[in-house]
Structure 1
Amino acid sequence: MQVNLLQCQSSRKPAENLAFINSQLEQLPRQPGEPQLVVLPECALLFGGHEGEQLAFAGKGDETPLQQQLAALAAKHQVYLAAGTIPVASGDGRVYSRTYLFDDKGQVLGDYDKLHLFDVDISDNTRNYRESDTFCPGNRVCVVDTPFGRIGLSVCYDLRFPDLYRALRQAGAQIILVPAAFTRVTGAAHWEVLLRARAIETQCYVLAAAQWGRHNQGGRETWGQSMIVDPWGRIMAQLPENTGWVQARLDMDELQKIRSNMPVSQHNRFSLPALLPPAKH
């Protein structure tokens, strides 16, 4: 079974981004009859403008136009699709940044709302990122059973919070997805080391699909380097720049061997992490 990350350079135009994703799926290098998992980056359908633009595309509940279009892509191309993130109304004037996992018939297997919001000052063209002005934090972790293994869901800035990844491992995750849009500044400093650390700590495969390049006439710039990391922290495949596919086949026997030889989950003497309610906005 093959896993595939699509590195994107998404714009503010959902129709344009959908067309790009569809064209790439039509060209997906694959063996006939082999199950495929495809992971899209954060904000794959809408990126590069002011975060407030997300509000205009946020539907209520799980039957939103963007969700339905992504489900249709999964069914059309017969792939399991981890569909980056799309905005879903939260009920308080903001939106959840929600990632969906679809099966190859377009049915929802699970979903997850980004827990940690990027309220950070960065020395780039944007300078001040305040996701909490637009986004509402989630309130749960999610691990989903699939033919590829048990998949844990996370998003971008979550990567800096190892307690989430430990919670996903304790919930049975074997593969952890990280759809992301890391800034060029933070990506250059921390992206690779954080991904490899999370893989080593959890003894999971980590699949990180990223945005890359300049967006919105250079108003936003993302790092790229979509990457597949094995449970020993080895980089199996990556794409430092440009758009396109990153692919690998995962070996669950190797995962079990690593966990058996070094049973860190059993050796850990600290209590399990507990999810706290979000700070008041």
Structure 2
Amino acid sequence: MVLVAAGQLNSSSSLIENGQTVVKLISKAVELGIKILFLPEASDYLAKNASHSKKLVKSIDESPFVLEIQKKLQDLHSKGIFININVGIHEPSPNSDRTQNTSIWFNEKGEITQRYQKIHLFDVDVANGPILRESESVEPGSQVLPPFDTIAGKVALGICYDIRFPELALRQRSLGAQILTFPSAFTVRTGAAHWHLLGRSRAIDTQSYVIMAAQSGPHNTPDEEDLANGTDFKPTRISYGHSLIIDPWGTIIAETSDIDVGKTALAIADIDLDQLEIVRKNMPLWSQRRSDVFGYDV
């Protein structure tokens, strides 16, 4: 068994402050003996709007957020302390003026060894809620990243809205995934309705662990004009929170609480691949799937 954690953040528009917050969370995870820390979508920053996001985005080599994490991991490694980090960030796109919403994997040396670009973008009008157009500032990805080996098992990366499209999770399971990740910044309305349901569904669909690190609470995202005017900024974007770890039977085995809304927190659980294999053996879904009927096999 391997101890992992789904971290919870309340990211602002400051890459420096968010990096410092994550470093503190890494220190806490190390104290608790956690071997992999999963962090939310857009941990580096959340912006006021699309144009603000394009101004904030930094390349990997220039991002103070990324550099803070790498420095921390390198320092820990020099002391013989090893922890892996999965975190959601923004990157500038080489193809357009939009950003890329990516999930990256740091090994224990602070090296980025995996990168996934979000495929499905959140373009919706939530009834009695916010109007969000992620595609205004974000370029969609077009590839499924194959699962990769980690100390806890084979991990597959997804991001937030991807969880609503089961074909991604099914493809990842077919490619060998044992742990699915959906770092997110769910709205309060959609989170209250679907967050737990979607996570448990993907776990049951694929008989895999599902890890959902979440943004939480009202986000302080003033742009340059707000800061120059010196007026009190009133957050308009609020995230649902409730970071989760779900086992292959669909049971929620760790969750941050309502008390932790808007705060950093950890949902902690063991990944037990022996349990995973028992679930898959007792209900052999992958040997019973009917690609001959449906004409394809995801």
Q: 1:140 corresponds to which residue? A: 143
Deviation string for 1:36-86 (max 9, x for gaps)? 1001101112015213322224345x5442444333333334320001232
Q: 1:259 corresponds to which residue? A: 280
**Residue-pair matches, total:** 269
Given the superposition, is the C-alpha separation of residues 189 and 149 from structure 1 closer, same or farther in structure 2, using an over 3 Å criterion? Answer: same
Return 5+ residue gaps in structure 2 as ranges.
Answer: 77-81, 221-233
Q: Residue type matched to 1:28 in 2?
A: A
Residues 79-228 of structure 1 aligned to structure 2 (within 5 Å): 79-123=83-127, 127-142=130-145, 143-216=147-220, 217-228=234-245
More helix as a share of residues: 2
Q: Residue type matched to 2:53 in 1?
A: Q
Q: Residue type matched to 1:201 in 2?
A: D
Given the superposition, is the C-alpha separation of residues 30 and 121 from structure 1 closer, same or farther in structure 2, using an over 3 Å criterion? Answer: same
Deviation string for 1:103-129 (max 9, x for gaps)? 11111221100000000001355x211
TM-score (norm 1): 0.90
Q: 2:223 corresponds to which residue? A: none
Contact kept, 8 Å, 2:37 with 2:84, in 1: the verdict is yes
Contact kept, 8 Å, 1:90 with 1:136, in 2: the verdict is no
Q: 1:45 corresponds to which residue? A: 44
Contact kept, 8 Å, 1:89 with 1:95, in 2: the verdict is yes
Give the whole-Å Cα distance in 1 for the aligned partners of 2:83 and 2:8.
17
Q: Work out the percentage of aligned pairs sharing the same amino acid.
A: 33
Helix, strand or coil at the partner of 1:83: strand
* Bigger CA radius of gyration: 2
Contact kept, 8 Å, 1:90 with 1:96, in 2: the verdict is no
Contact kept, 8 Å, 2:29 with 2:37, in 1: the verdict is no
Task: Give the deviation of 1:158 after TM superposition.
Answer: 0.3
Contact kept, 8 Å, 2:19 with 2:66, in 1: the verdict is no
Task: Give the deviation of 1:176 after TM superposition.
Answer: 0.8
Q: 2:22 corresponds to which residue? A: 21
Root mean square deviation of aligned Cα: 1.8
Deviation string for 1:259-279 (max 9, x for gaps)? 111111121113223xxxxxx
Give the whole-Å Cα distance in 2 for the aligned partners of 1:235 and 1:123.
28
Helix, strand or coil at the partner of 1:85: strand
TM-score (norm 2): 0.85
Contact kept, 8 Å, 2:102 with 2:115, in 1: the verdict is yes
Give the whole-Å Cα distance in 1 for the aligned partners of 2:74 and 2:144.
26
